Each structure stands twice: as structure tokens, then as C-alpha cells.
Amino acid sequence: MLVRTKVNGEWREADVWPGSSLLFMLREHLGLPGSKNACEQGECGSCSVWLEGELVCACLVLAAQADDAEVRTVEALGHDGELHPVQEAFVEAGAVQCGFCTPGLIVAVTDLLEHDPHPDDAVVREALSGNLCRCTGYQKILDAVRLAAEWMGDGRGGSPA
Ligand code: FES
Ligand code: FES
């Protein structure tokens, strides 16, 4: 089936098997491998993207559900070779080890800070509870969120629609 989706501001088409996930369409048909495929069961958050502005696990969404809809992925966050402040904060805080969870966390943290620019630790933990990381022990991820909130609060930039 043909799926037509606005991805990161550009209308794209993909001829997918009707049972394909949005994650498979993004990675295998549209050349956007930023969203990672770890569990394919909605457990790890590594495939997090926005569908119509809502954070979803792309492995749990059918590609067909994204037909005529708007999707935003981690690839939309950096611009002209510049990292998004959340990406920069992860680097600065040392919150990236193997990196497999990182794109999903970057998306989830960006979503959180777009809705709540100054979350307390409990809110951050709750917001990121669906994103699993096997490497960092999470402390540096919390440090990165604090740093990103500080930078974005200083007007260092948010993300485009
Ligand atoms: S790959 Fe989608 S939640 Fe793990
Ligand atoms: S950095 Fe390896 S899973 Fe998070």
C-alpha cells in the first residue's frame, strides 16, 4: 500500500506492506535510521517519534496510521550542522555511551521541555520512564536534562515544528 506522510516538514511516499510499522517505514523506506529498533514491543522508547505532535513508539504504530499525517523524527532536531540544545547537553553531560537509547531519549526530553521548560526531577523521571538505557545508570541523563532546560531557558533555542 502507498503511504503519504509529511516527515520533518516534507511530504514523502512509501510503498509498504500493510503490516509494516512506522519505524520500519522510516528506517527502511525513507532512509531515516535515527529512530532505533531495539525491542519492537513498545518497551524501550528507542524508536520515539512525534505523530501529529504526540510522542509515540514508532514500532507500535502502523505505517498506514501515518498516512496523511505529520511525523517528526530525531533527524529534524539538528540544523545546518548545529546540534539541538538537548543533543548538545547529552554530549556535554556525558550521557551517551553506546548511544542506542540516545535518539529516543533526545526526542523524549525535547518533548518534555517543549511542554514543561522547568520540570523537577520527579517529572523528568516520570516523563522518561518509558526510555530504557542499559549503560549510563540514568544519572548523567538527568544531568543532561537539567543542562538542556537551563540552556533552552536562556534562549539558546528550541526545536522547529
Ligand atoms: S523499539 Fe519501539 S519501544 Fe523499543
Ligand atoms: S547509552 Fe547504551 S543503552 Fe543508553
Instruction: Find the mean pLDDT for residues 65-87.
Output: 96
Ligand 1 atom at shortest distance from the alpha carbon of 130? 3
User: Which residues have C-beta within 8 Å of that of residue 43, sequence separation ≥ 6?
Assistant: 132
Q: Quick one: pLDDT band at residue 153, thresholds 50, 70, 90?
A: confident
Residue-wise pLDDT for 14-33, tens only, equals 999 999 999 999 999 999 99
Task: Give the pLDDT score at 156.
Answer: 66
Closest residue CA from atom 2 of ligand 2: 98
Task: Give the pLDDT score at 160.
Answer: 44
* Percent of residues, the chain, with pLDDT higher than 90: 92
Q: Quick one: pLDDT band at residue 159, thresholds 50, 70, 90?
A: very low
DSSP assignment string, the chain: -EEEEEETTEEEEEE--TT-BHHHIIIIIS--TTS--S-SSSSS-TTEEEETTEEEETTSSBGGGGTTSEEE-GGGT-BTTBPPHHHHHHHHHT--SS-SSHHHHHHHHHHHHHH-SS--HHHHHHHTTT---SSS-SHHHHHHHHHHHHHHHTT------
Residue 79 buriedness (CB in 10 A; 0-12 / 13-18 / 19+): exposed
Higher pLDDT, 78 or 27: 27
Ligand 1 atom at shortest distance from the alpha carbon of 36? 1
Ligand 1 centroid to 156 CA: how many Å? 30
User: Which residues have C-beta within 8 Å of that of residue 96, sequence separation ≥ 6?
Assistant: 90, 102, 136
Q: What is the mean pLDDT of the chain?
A: 95
Task: Give the pLDDT score at 97.
Answer: 97
Closest residue CA from atom 3 of ligand 1: 42
Tell me the pairing of strands 70-72 and 10-15: unpaired
Which residues have C-beta atoms less than 6 Å from ligand 1?
A: 37-40, 42-47, 57, 59
In the structure grid, which three cell numbers stand for residue 109, read together? 526530553
Ligand 1 atom at shortest distance from the alpha carbon of 132? 4
Residue-wise pLDDT for 33-50, tens only, equals 999 999 999 999 999 999
Residue-wise pLDDT for 96-128, tens only, equals 999 999 999 999 999 999 999 999 999 999 999
Are 2 and 29 a contacting pair, CB within 8 Å?
Answer: no
